[in-house]
A = this chain, B = another copy of it.
Amino acid sequence: MISQAEENYLKALFHLTNEMQGKIEAGTNELAEILDVKPATANNMLKKLKEKEWVSYEKYGKITLTDKGKSLAVETVRKHRLWETFLYEKLNFTWDEVHEVAEQLEHIKSDKLVQQLERFLDFPETDPHGDPIPNAKGEIKFVNRKTLAEVEVGKTCKLISVKDNSSSFLQYVVKLGLGLSSKIKIISRQDFDGSMEIEVNKVRSSISKKVAQNLFVV
């Protein structure tokens, strides 16, 4: 029986290796970092995951998910995003509130629950942050997207998802007048720090490069 901790590690590895543009392997420290544990702890867990054949990794080497590990991770991601959608669509949660509770709900073990929840939500394709929801077979509908930081000055684009799911970031995004599907026009960009001025619904704001890199657009 897979534990909650194990599910969290596999999910984190999936985010690091499969959902990151141009990355297919992860390191102990970055894994520890996003799980908010010490590297020693992650290292200890890695040994267990390797033993169970959910990751492949050798001492001092890089970490990758095995097929089995990836499929377990995707199942957890699927549950996470279905629950976020449920909270948002049915229980009046805002998009900055759903993540924390979904972190707990994703660990509930019941195949029927997931299947019925998906039907109840009418087979949603994306969660409240614009991220794709894997289907029952573990297939993920990939959307070609880039970050706002990569868009040229003068162009207009549409926000389709956010990278950082923290409530502080999401609340800031709302404050900028942004939500999923918002049209964003790039007014100007500073060369030296990558900060930029954008226009949303006729309102102009200045945002840092860091912020722009956390907004995915098409």
| Chain A residues within 8 Å of B, Cβ to Cβ | 87, 90-93, 97, 100-101, 104-105, 108-110, 112-113, 116-117, 120
Contact = CB atoms under 8 A, between A and B. Distances in A.
Q: Which secondary structure dominates chain A's binding surface?
A: helix
B113 A87 contact: yes
Nearest to A113: B101
Nearest to A87: B113
Nearest to A110: B101
A161 to B, nearest CB: 24
B109 A93 contact: no
Contact of A120 (B90, B105, B110): B90
Given A91-B120, A120-B90, A109 B113 contact: no
B92 A116 contact: yes
Contact of A112 (B97, B104, B117): B97
